[in-house]
Amino acid sequence: MVWNTMILSQYVIVCRIVGRTLPEPTRAAMTRHYGSTVTPEGGWGLHAESGPSPYCTVLAHIALRLLGNRADDPLCADSAAWLRSQPGGARAVPTWGKLWLAVAGLHDYRAINPLPPELFLLPRRLPVHPDRLYCHTRSIYQAMAYLYGIRFSGDLGHPLTDELRRDLLGESRPGARPPCRSDRRLLGADAQVPPGRALRAAFDVLAVYERHPLRRTRARALARCLARVTHEQEVTREFGLSPVSSLLNVLVLHASGAAPTAVDRALTAVDHWRWTDQERGIRYAGARSQTWDTAFAVEALLAHGPTDTGDPTDAAVLTALRRGCGFLRDAQVTDEVPHPEVTARAPAAGGWCFSDGAHRWPVSDCTAEAAATLLHARHLLPETTVPDEGRLRQATAFLLHRQNRDGGFGSYEPRRGSRLLEAANPSEMFSDCMVEGSYTECTGSALVAFTALARPEDPEHREEMDRAIRHGAHFLLRRQCKDGSWPAAWGVNRIYGTLFAVRGLRATGMPPTHPRLARAARWLESVQRADGGWGEHHQGCTENRYVEHPDSQPVMTAWALLALLDITGPGSASVRDGVRWLCERQADDGSWHQKAVTGVFFGTAMLDYRFYAEYFPLWALGAHLAALGRAG
């Protein structure tokens, strides 16, 4: 899953701070990645389709210098020049960027919006306790709060530190000044969600407190944050929830005086997220998506309808299915996280992670898709590839726990905090990142799974599942927009949400003639492009509406076809035109080329799921052939 250069830049900075030397071939491969992703303006963007981001560009410039590139190297010279051309320059990066500048010894902590660790000392029953926050957010902030609380400042070395201060912050140039308190309010192009008046007032009050924090209270708060970070490292086998939080955890361990071997072990574990190829060099993925991709790839191969007839293609498909299902079976988390109360972890046993399960942070929709896929494949494969009844019951209990009161499903956890907490979003660059929600996609996936999991041999959960299915279906019906589409939280955007809603509602037994499904079909047909395909632009994610992409895209076309096949069947003109478009765009090697980003995270972070173009078009074509067969 491709995001941007942010994590690579942070990795390089952390390596310098903790004293790890990167070998020359590694430095060259990392520099090659920056060279392959630089924008025409000389910066680096938040995703592949964006213009340059001050936040990503500042971090990339620092990393390039640490990798041994000179200030007059074109990548460094151009990025410094572009930053100087921006209002506020490097001083106007969001709080996350200002914190990284301070951690690198380049910025004054007084010029950062306060991140007091004392918040973690609040009673957990309070509606503003950090444990009410979305798990990624609280994992990031428990580490940031520790670094902020001790005013940690690393050493990049002399004279490089002085050169970076001059190039990025303008220090030592005529009329320049060092960062100061007023810079807290300085925001540039990355500020998608600037703080409101109430939050700014809270920052002002906390800034006064930060001048003379209570020593004993601060010490207790720091100890609490350190214990949480240590626990997170231990129970995730040093991988952390994500590479974003794990790199911050490495800095916390280093700053707290942990043994160098412990710091080195934690930093080495970050390579779990490393991605290397000859063309683009070394970078760090935002996440690994093995379980998510494998579940959908198996569904795509199942749609092909392989039979054990001796045909070489069918034999190859059956072999792939057996191996894919074997991976999914073994990737299930079957034990609980020790001492979950330390970091307020939800029950983990029975779930599947987005990745391979190594970090033990399972997710509802990954669990639903993995469990459903294994049960869908049961008729073709030996029973040994399907989890036993005990593990299927664990999966059921895991999913039931993630359902919210409104009937929708959260991702990692059920919702813990009020949506009002979004008004206290301190990130400035991401939206919808403060609390868990009820998501169209997670709910649709859960309904698909429950219909597969609801078996006579599991009467213990049958009544709960029936109730969960009813409430989930009602949530989806309430969530449908007037035009017939559904909004998504994890994909781009309305076509993706509509696919998952239709899959979920059809799985509950809703007939394709139901007025709500007919409305969804009409909407999908209305946004079909003249060439027969579908294409949606990521801009719609931030504007909460459908925005057409200038070009049809194979992944969006496949999503639309899968939804329509579930409603109209294979005979509609829209389906025929969409299938024709996919067939005409298939390359000689069997693949499709996706040009647009397909995923989203934290509302504004666009993601490129590289394997979506491999299995969604295949799945759509297989489902079309199967539907034709059923139609006679």
Which amino acid type is present at position 305?
Answer: G
Instruction: Look over the chain and give the mean of its residue pLDDT values, rounded to a whole number.
Output: 94
Query: What is the reported pLDDT for 307?
Result: 67
pLDDT in tens, 294-330: 999 999 999 977 766 667 788 889 999 999 999 999 9
Whether the per-residue pLDDT at 385 is higher than 80: the answer is: no
Query: What is the reported pLDDT for 177?
Result: 61
Tell me if the bond preceding 159 is cis, omega within 30° of 0: yes
Q: Show the beta-strand stretches assigned E in 135-176.
A: none
**How would you write 389-458 as a 3-class SS string?**
HHHHHHHHHHHHHCECCCCCECCCCCCCCCHHHHHHCCCCCCCCCCCCCCEHHHHHHHHHHHHHHCCCCC
Closest listed residue to residue 367, CA positions, set 348, 327, 395, 387: 395
**How many of the other CB atoms lie within 10 Å of CB of 588?**
5
Burial (CB < 10 A; 0-12, 13-18, 19+), residue 238, is buried
Flag the least confident range among 451-455, 507-511, 533-537: 451-455
Whether the per-residue pLDDT at 222 is higher than 70: the answer is: yes
pLDDT in tens, 100-144: 999 999 999 999 999 999 999 999 999 999 999 999 999 999 999
Query: What is the reported pLDDT for 305?
Result: 77
pLDDT class for 458, splitting at 50, 70, 90?
Answer: low
pLDDT class for 392, splitting at 50, 70, 90?
Answer: very high
Contact assessment for residue 297 and residue 611, using Cβ atoms and an 8 Å cutoff? yes
Query: What is the reported pLDDT for 457?
Result: 61
Query: What is the reported pLDDT for 454?
Result: 82
From CA 117, how far away is CA 1, in angstroms rounded?
Answer: 32
From CA 206, how far away is CA 145, in angstroms rounded?
Answer: 13
In the 8-state DSSP scheme, what is residue 277? E
**How many of the other CB atoms lie within 10 Å of CB of 174?**
5
pLDDT class for 511, splitting at 50, 70, 90?
Answer: very high
pLDDT in tens, 427-443: 999 999 999 999 999 99
Whether the per-residue pLDDT at 201 is higher than 90: the answer is: yes
**438 φ, ψ to 5°?**
-110, 120
In the 8-state DSSP scheme, what is residue 424? G
From CA 415, how far away is CA 468, in angstroms rounded?
Answer: 16
CA 507 to chain CA centroid, nearest Å: 26
Q: Find all residues with CB under 8 Å of 377, minimum gap 6, and list them.
A: 298, 302, 321, 325, 385, 386
Contact assessment for residue 331 and residue 350, using Cβ atoms and an 8 Å cutoff? no
**How would you write 10-48 as a 3-class SS string?**
HHHHHHHHHCCCCCHHHHHHHHHHHHHHCCCCCCCECCC
Contact assessment for residue 148 and residue 98, using Cβ atoms and an 8 Å cutoff? no
From CA 74, how far away is CA 52, in angstroms rounded?
Answer: 16
Contact assessment for residue 354 and residue 291, using Cβ atoms and an 8 Å cutoff? yes
**How many of the other CB atoms lie within 10 Å of CB of 227?**
14
Q: Pairing relation of β-strands 605-607 and 599-601?
A: antiparallel
Whether the per-residue pLDDT at 335 is higher than 80: the answer is: yes
**605 φ, ψ to 5°?**
-95, 105
Whether the per-residue pLDDT at 57 is higher than 80: the answer is: yes
Q: Pairing relation of β-strands 362-363 and 599-601?
A: unpaired
From CA 313, how far away is CA 306, in angstroms rounded?
Answer: 8
Which amino acid type is present at position 438?
Answer: S
| Mean pLDDT confidence for 279-287 | 92
Q: Find all residues with CB under 8 Å of 211, minimum gap 6, and list them.
A: none
Residue span(s) of the chain under CATH 1.50.10.20 come to 6-273, 287-336+344-415+440-479, 480-632
From CA 599, how far away is CA 584, in angstroms rounded?
Answer: 25
Flag the least confident range among 6-15, 19-28, 451-460, 504-513: 451-460
Whether the per-residue pLDDT at 629 is higher than 60: the answer is: yes
Query: What is the reported pLDDT for 308?
Result: 64
Report the greatest alpha carbon distance in the chain: 80
Query: 367 vs 96, 455, 492, 497, CA distance in Å?
Result: 31, 17, 21, 18
Does 3.40.50.300 match the CATH number of domain 6-273?
no
Percent above pLDDT 70 for the chain: 97
**What is the sign of the dihedral through the CA atoms of 346, 348, 351 and 352?**
positive
Query: What is the reported pLDDT for 2?
Result: 85
Domain 287-336+344-415+440-479 carries which CATH code? Answer: 1.50.10.20
Q: Pairing relation of β-strands 281-284 and 274-277?
A: antiparallel
Angle, helices 389-401/364-376, rounded to nearest 10 degrees: 150
Whether 365 sits among the annotated catalytic residues: the reply is yes
Q: First and final CA of the chain: distance in angstroms?
A: 40
480-632 CATH fold = Glycosyltransferase (1.50.10)
Which amino acid type is present at position 598?
Answer: T
pLDDT in tens, 250-262: 999 999 999 999 9
Question: How many helices (H) does the chain have, and how many strands (E)?
Answer: 23, 6
Flag the least confident range among 186-195, 342-351, 477-486: 186-195
From CA 196, how far away is CA 198, in angstroms rounded?
Answer: 6
Whether the per-residue pLDDT at 518 is higher than 70: the answer is: yes
pLDDT in tens, 134-177: 999 999 999 999 999 999 999 999 999 999 999 998 865 555 56
Query: What is the reported pLDDT for 386?
Result: 77
Which amino acid type is present at position 19?
Answer: G
| Mean pLDDT confidence for 531-552 | 96
Q: Find all residues with CB under 8 Å of 556, minimum gap 6, and list them.
A: 492, 495, 496, 533, 534, 535, 536, 549, 596, 598
Whether the per-residue pLDDT at 242 is higher than 70: the answer is: yes
Closest listed residue to residue 266, CA positions, set 230, 292, 291: 230
Instruction: Give the active site residue among 167, 365, 432, 566.
Output: 365
